Amino acid sequence: MEVLKVENICKTYGDHKALDNVSLSIPKQSIFGLLGPNGAGKTTLIRIITQIINADSGEIMINGEKLQQKHTGVIGYLPEERGLYKKMKVGEQLLYLTQLKGMNKREAIQKIKIWLAKFEIEDWAKKNIEDLSKGMQQKIQFIATVIHEPELIILDEPFSGFDPINANLVKDEILELREKGSTIIFSTHRMESVEELCDDIALINNSRKILDGSKKEIKHNYRSNTYIVDHVSDIASLSSDYEILTTKTLEDNMNQSNIKIMNGLSPNQLIQELVQKTEVHGFVEKIPSINDIFIAKVQEENHG
């Protein structure tokens, strides 16, 4: 079942078309990667979903209902441009923001204590926001976004400013929120985070959606029938059914070659030819990364 359905959304600013007939379907209890180069239209789409701006045309559905003001309560949004009240204390800030989301004071105080303990920042509750480092402020804004456990969480560059330890802490919390039932839209330039976290992705470029689907299926579709082979002696040549793309020397005089299988042959047939020419120590299919697919697809669109 889908939590969010985006249908034929268009948005223009003057002569600039920010979104051109974009449609998406976000499955329930999934982590959905919204990807694209700078200026592609991702943030515009997020602002339409969160009702900060209106689309020129198209429709957005939340749980089968047309997007309305009441849906702000089921959405948690962490914008890329952070915004906290610098002179307010951390605890007061979180209490204010949670009550805006409809939580009563008693429940809010209890939840704030739990989240500050999770992030090991209980001692910061009475500090002013302006006294916190950028990373600390990021933690507070993340807590404010998810503390009411919204059904739909939108995170725009959530790891910006975090060191690796705190980035992993936030990743763990994102996964836990999904396990508890939340759906997360996750916009980032960090492709390693997409590899780790996302179930489904969509790629927007020059205001249009150019790719979407499950991460697993997309990676499968972009396989190139190429294998990484670790071997002892150099392979001078193979039959015309195979192409040696690259070869490099590893430690202990081992070699590693990228070999592409042509003409629809099987990996076993490649192995049979290799063992007649060299001693094979490793053989694994080269699966394209999301980063590889991202770059290839954007370049294809831009030069196509």
Q: Please, what is the average pLDDT of the chain?
A: 91
Confidence of residue 14 (pLDDT cuts 50, 70, 90): very high
Do the Cβ atoms of 151 and 183 come closer than 8 Å? yes
Amino acid 129: pLDDT: 85
> Structure pTM?
0.87
Tokens of 219: 């990676």
User: For residue 186, what are its two tokens?
Assistant: 């996750």
Q: Is the pLDDT reported for residue 83 higher than 80? A: no
Give the total residue count for the chain.
Answer: 304
If pLDDT is split at 50, 70 and 90, which confidence band does 160 have? confident
What pLDDT was estimated at residue 119? 87
Average pLDDT over residues 241-255: 91
pLDDT at 133 over 90: no
DSSP, collapsed to helix, strand or coil, labels residue 90 as helix
pLDDT 10s digits, 182-230: 999 999 888 888 999 999 999 999 999 999 999 999 999 999 999 999 9
pLDDT > 90: what percent of the chain? 65
- Residue 82, pLDDT above cutoff 80: no
Location of each CATH 3.40.50.300 domain in the chain: 2-220
Asked if pLDDT for residue 304 goes beyond 80, the answer is no
Question: Is the per-residue pLDDT at 161 higher than 80?
Answer: no
Helix H or strand E segment including 273:
helix 267-274
Q: What is the DSSP string of 110-126?
A: HHHHHHHHHTT-GGGTT
Is the pLDDT at 64 greater than 70, yes or no? yes
Contact partners, residue 22, CB within 8 Å, separation at least 6: 6, 8, 9, 10, 41, 45, 58, 204, 207, 208, 209
Q: Which strands sit side by side in the sheet containing 57-62, from one edge to the other? A: 16-27, 2-13, 57-62, 65-66
Tokens of 46: 């997020």
CATH 1.10.390, applies to 224-286: no
Which helix (H) or strand (E) covers residue 260, if one does? strand 255-261
pLDDT confidence band for 136 (50 / 70 / 90): confident
pLDDT at 6: 97
Does domain 2-220 correspond to CATH entry 3.40.50.300? yes
Q: Could you tell me where in the chain the CATH 3.30.70 domains are found?
A: 224-286
